Chain A
C-alpha cells in the first residue's frame, strides 16, 4: 500500500484553508443522523467530543477512568505553546513551525506542523473564553514564559497545573454537551477491539470494568484519543493505567503503527528509590532555568555534595554545551546524564542520578525568589525524597515521559482504516523524533478543537456508509475474540504476577530501547521479548474472575498487549540505523558523541503493518519532503 498523506497542494500557509474549503460539509439537520465514537477523554478526546457535540453530532464517549476529568492529561505541569507573539520578541506562526520541525530533528511532516502552529493561537483564545485561569501579569494580560530552551517566550501556563486547567476546560465544555444531550458518557469502559465492516471503522467492542460485561457500540466514525505507550517501560512519568491496548487492537485490525521507536526520555525526574517503585515523578523542566547540573569529577566520589568543592565538580552540560548550557533539549540532557553515570560518576546510593543544584541561584536571587518560582516543585521533591532542596542539591535522573510514535495518520488525522481517526499522543503526527516542551497539550487541543471537527465532517459527508447494527457478525466476532483472550489469561493460573511481567518487559525496553540503542542490544531484546511473551502465557497468575470489578484482570490485558507491542518498538529501533531526536543509535554518532542523522537513507516515516503475533510486520515508508525548512545537523554547542 502506498501511504498517501493527503497533504493539500499549494504554499504551506494556504494548505489548511484550502483543505477546509475543499472539505465536504454536513448540513446541521443531517448531523444528528451520524453516530460518532470518541475513545478517551484527555485533552484530545474531551476537546473533540465537545466540538462535535456542539456541531450537533451524537457522540458516545468512552474512557477507562471513573470520570473523564481523571485522564492522564490532568498531570501536565509546565504549559502550552502558542504563536501569539504577545511578548513582541520575534515569535510567529512560522517560527513555531520552524522550531517544532527542527526540535523534532526533521522527522515530522511539514504541513501538519505548520497547521499546528497556525491553530495554536486559536487554542489560547478558546481556553480563555472557557474560563481557564492562565497566569496573568499585573496589567491584566496573559503571562508567558520561555520553556525547554526556546528563545522566545511563547508558553502559557496556569501555575504548575496547566494540564489540569486545560483538561477541566475541555471536560466542562464536554459536560455542557452531556447536559444538552449530544454527548453520552461511558466511563470505566475499556476498548478491546475496533470493529471494521467492509473496510471501514464501524464501531468498537469494550468491556464494562465494573460489571465485566462486553458491549458493542456501532458508529459511523471512531476517534481514538487514548494517549501514549510510555508505560511499556514499566517506570515512566505517565499515569499508571496508561496503555497501548486500544491503539494496539486497532493496529491488529489494519491501522499502521508509525515510528514506535521515537520515545522521549525526560532529563529531570526524581530517581528510582527501590524495587517497590510504581512510577516516576517529573520535576518540571523549568528548574533548569536556575538549577546547575553537575556530578563529581572523579569516579566513586561518595562525599556528600556539600563537601565536594567546586574544583572537584563537573558541570558537564555547561562544559560540553557552552551556548545552551543547562538548557539543552531534553534528549541531549538525558544522554549526557546517562553518560556521566555510566562512567561511574553518578550521585546517590545507586549511582544513577545527577545533582541539580540551586545554591548559586539562591545566593544570587535569595531563597524567597526561588521559593516564589519553584515553591510547589520543591515541596513535591521534599515530600517524595524527604530531603530539603533549599539546602541539599536535588538529585535527578532521566525517565520515560512521552511517545512521539503512534498510529499513522494522514493530514486529515485519519488512519489506514477509513473512518478511524487518531488524535493526541496516540497518533504520530507532529513531533517527529523529539517533542518540544509544552507542545503536547497544544497538539491534543489542536486536533480535538480545530482539526478533527472539519476532517471528520468531510469523511461523514463524503462517504457512503450503509447502516450497521451492533448485531452485525463483525461485532460478534470481535466480542468472541475479546472474550477468548480474557478467558485465556484467567486460565493460565501460573506463578508470576502481572506486575512481575510488566517489570520484566519494562527492564528489557529500558536497557535496550532506552537512551542508547545498539544493533546487538536490539536484536537481543527482540528475542528476549519473544521468550518473555511465551512465559507470560504459560506462567502468569491473574486474580479473580471476569464478572465484576477486577483491576488485576484489566492490568493483565494491558501488559499482554505490551508483550506484543514491545517487539515492534524494538524492531523499529533496529531498522532505523541512524540517530535522530530521542532515538540514539550508538553506531551513528559524531566524533564528539552527538547524534548523527542520515537524511539520505532515513528521511521517512516508518509505518508498520501487522501480520500476526510473532510474524514480522511489514514496513511501509512515507518519504518526508522538506520544501520549507532545510534539514541541518542540530547543534547546541
Chain B
C-alpha cells in the first residue's frame, strides 16, 4: 500500500518548523508505524536528505521513548497502545497521515519529532520515591499487604512516562503522570510516612516546570497507552489538600 505523510520538520530547539509532505510506498500492512518511518528514512538517506528524527527504543510499548501525534491523537488510533505498537494495517491505501511531536511548553522540541521530557525526571526527583537506603530493608514478607492494595498500586505504577497525557491535554498538564506515581507509592504502607511531603513537593515541581492546570476533561486518560485512570488525579488533589491544611 501507499500512504501520504505530512511530517513536522524542525531543525532544532526554538527554530521554526513546518509540515513537509512525503510519500511512503511499498508499505506492508504488517509493518509497524515506526518501521514505516524507518523505510521512509532509508529512502531519504539514500537521496542525501536529512532523515526524520524520532525517538524509540524497546518497540514494544514499555520504555516510553516513542511518542508522536498521529492525525491529532497522541500515539495514534489504537486505544491502550504506544506509537511503536501501531501497525500499518490500521490505515488504508492512499490515506494521508499527519505526524507531529508531543507539544507542550515543558516539552521543548529538540528536532523534528524528538522532544525533551526531562521535566518528568525532575518531578520524580522532587519526591517520587521511598526514602530508604540499601541495606536497611526488613524481610520482604514481614509486612503483608492486601492483594487488592498491591494490585491498585501496580495499576498506577504501570505508567511508562511517555508524556502522551501532557500532549493530549489542552492545558498541557502533567497531572496524570504525577498522580500515578503519588498513588503508586501512597497506597502502599512503605510510602505512607512520606505521603504528605511527597505530594506537596511533586505538585510544586510540576508547577515549576511550566505544566498547566487540570480542567478535568479526561483527554489524558483517553490516550494513555497504559490506561492509567483519571481517579489518580482526584486522589492526588485530596492528598494535596490534606497535606497543606
Contacts and interface: CB of A to CB of B under 8 A. Distances in A.
Contacts of B48: 541, 543
A129 B129 contact: no
B150 A164 contact: no
A548 B138 contact: no
Nearest to A124: B140
A72 B87 CA distance: 22
B121 A133 contact: no
B158 A67 contact: no
B67 to A, nearest CB: 10
Given A131-B185, A142-B141, A239 B58 contact: yes
A139 B78 CA distance: 37
Given A125-B139, A386-B30, A543-B50, A131 B131 contact: no
Interface string B126-153: 1111111110111111011111001101
* Interface range, B side: 35 or more
Contact of B134 (A51, A128, A278): A51
B120 interface: yes
B23 interface: no
B173 interface: no
Contacts of B49: 543
A240 B117 contact: no
Nearest to B139: A125
Given A133-B157, A138-B147, A552-B45, A86 B141 contact: yes
A39 interface: no
A549 B53 contact: yes
A542 B50 CA distance: 10
A552 B141 CA distance: 48
A384 B87 contact: yes
Nearest to A68: B121
A75 B62 contact: yes
Given A133-B184, A164-B160, A278-B35, A72 B129 contact: no
A453 interface: yes
Contacts of B34: 278
Interface string A255-271: 00000000000000000
A54 B129 CA distance: 14
Of B55, B56, B137, most buried by chain A (CB within 10 Å of CB) is B137
Interface string A53-85: 010000000000111111110110000000010
Interface in B93-132: 110-111, 114, 116-118, 120-121, 124-132
* Interface range, A side: 35 or more
Contact of A383 (B87, B118, B140, B145): B87
B81 interface: yes
A140 B134 contact: no
B59 A239 contact: yes
Contacts of B81: 383
B210 interface: no
Contact of B44 (A130, A158, A543): A543
A278 B124 CA distance: 32
Given A67-B117, A128-B140, A551-B53, A75 B60 contact: yes
Interface of B: 11-12, 28, 30-32, 34-36, 38-39, 41-42, 44-46, 48-51, 53, 55-65, 78, 81, 85, 87, 89, 110-111, 114, 116-118, 120-121, 124-134, 136-141, 143-147, 150-151, 153-154, 157-158, 160-161, 184-185, 188, 190-191
Interface of A: 47, 50-51, 54, 65-72, 74-75, 84, 86, 122, 124-131, 133-142, 158-159, 161, 164-165, 168, 171-173, 175-176, 178-179, 185, 187, 210, 239-241, 273-274, 276-279, 281, 380, 383-386, 449-450, 453, 495, 497, 499, 541-544, 548-552
